[in-house]
Amino acid sequence: MIGILGGMGTQAGLDFCNKLTIINRGRTDQKYPLFILYNKSNIPKRPENIKKFYNVLSSLVKGCRLLQKNKCKFIVMPCNTAHYWHEALQKKIKIPILSMPQEVFIHTKKICKKNSKIGILSTEATLKTGIYGKYFDKYYKLINPTRSIQINSVNKAIKFVKMGKVYEAEKAIRSAVRYLVKSKCKRIILGCTELPIAIFAYKSFKKVKNSKLFIDPNLLLANVSMKKYKSKTPVLV
């Protein structure tokens, strides 16, 4: 059984579950994966609590222990920023917790040459904590939006999705995408799980979507989860 620690935000957790079903589309009910979504929406806000490390860690541990108690094979967290606590969290949990940034890096190495420009759209906390840089910096040139674009485009888009205003989010994120396209990025990591919801909801990015420019970590994590779910080999910590 797949354990999903959601609530960071709620829309992102539901998006992950939806992607699990899309991967299995057309099959019988009995062929869908067994999973538990714990929508733990009371986890302290990650960006605002980077310095209060143990406040967030304690809440994450409680969520993961519930999933562990319910005999999940492994755990996923559909939240990029939460992976700042991944290493410390894994030390307190007996079953494996998949690393979203690590899986994105493994995927990128398969499709992009070394030293390619890779764009990233994420929360400011994800950028500051370097959870993607930890894997990417030695192999790629990570390109971030300018400070102005981060504030007026990316941050607004994320906030709109959390509020359920997806159309407004799609409009807000446009300038950030244009900037990274003009910067000649080979791929753009949607490094906040709210952003794929904004970008793939409408047709504005049809041409860019068809170019397979975007890397959706939530979709990627769903695919990896299904492979591990079906595998008879134990998932290692």
Q: Is the pLDDT of residue 208 over 60?
A: no
Average pLDDT, the chain: 90
Does residue 88 form part of some domain? yes
Count of helices and strands (H, E) across the chain: 12, 7
Token pair, residue 181, equals 């396209």
Identify the residue with better confidence: 24 or 111: 111
What mean pLDDT do residues 75-89 have? 95
> CA torsion sign, 235 to 223 to 103 to 2?
negative
Instruction: Report residue 165's pLDDT band, with 50, 70 and 90 as the boundaries.
Output: very high
What mean pLDDT do residues 199-222 have? 76
Whether residue 116 sits in one domain with residue 209: yes
Instruction: Report residue 202's pLDDT band, with 50, 70 and 90 as the boundaries.
Output: low
Q: What is the pLDDT of residues 60-78, one digit of tens each?
A: 999 999 999 999 999 999 9
Number of domains in the chain: 2
Give the whole-angstrom CA distance, residue 19 versus residue 116.
Answer: 28
What beta strand segments (E) does 122-234 contain? 141-143, 187-190, 214-215
Instruction: Say what the pTM is.
Output: 0.89
Q: Is the pLDDT of residue 204 over 60?
A: no
CB 45 within 8 A of CB 123: no
Identify the residue with better confidence: 28 or 166: 166
Question: Residue 210, SS3?
Answer: helix
Whether residue 210 sits in one domain with residue 225: no
Whether residue 201 sits in one domain with residue 110: yes
Crossing angle of helices 217-230 and 10-23, in 10° steps, is: 50
CATH code of residue 148: 3.40.50.1860
Does residue 237 form part of some domain? no
Q: What is the pLDDT of residues 27-58, one digit of tens each?
A: 788 888 999 999 999 988 776 667 778 889 99
The percent of residues in the chain predicted with pLDDT above 90, rounded, is 70
Token pair, residue 224, equals 């990896």
Whether residue 202 sits in one domain with residue 224: no
- Residue 42: domain span: 2-99+219-230
Whether residue 223 sits in one domain with residue 161: no
Q: Given this model, what pLDDT does residue 47 score?
A: 65
Does residue 169 form part of some domain? yes
Q: Which amino acid is at 223?
A: N
Give the whole-angstrom CA distance, residue 163 versus residue 106.
Answer: 32
Nearest Cα neighbor of 143 from 86, 182, 107 is 182
Exposure string over 27-47, b if 16+ CB within 10 A, otherwise e? eeeeeebebbbbbbeebeebb
Whether residue 56 sits in one domain with residue 22: yes
Q: Given this model, what pLDDT does residue 11 score?
A: 87
Q: What is the pLDDT of residues 93-149, one digit of tens each?
A: 999 999 999 999 999 999 999 999 999 999 999 999 999 999 999 999 999 999 999
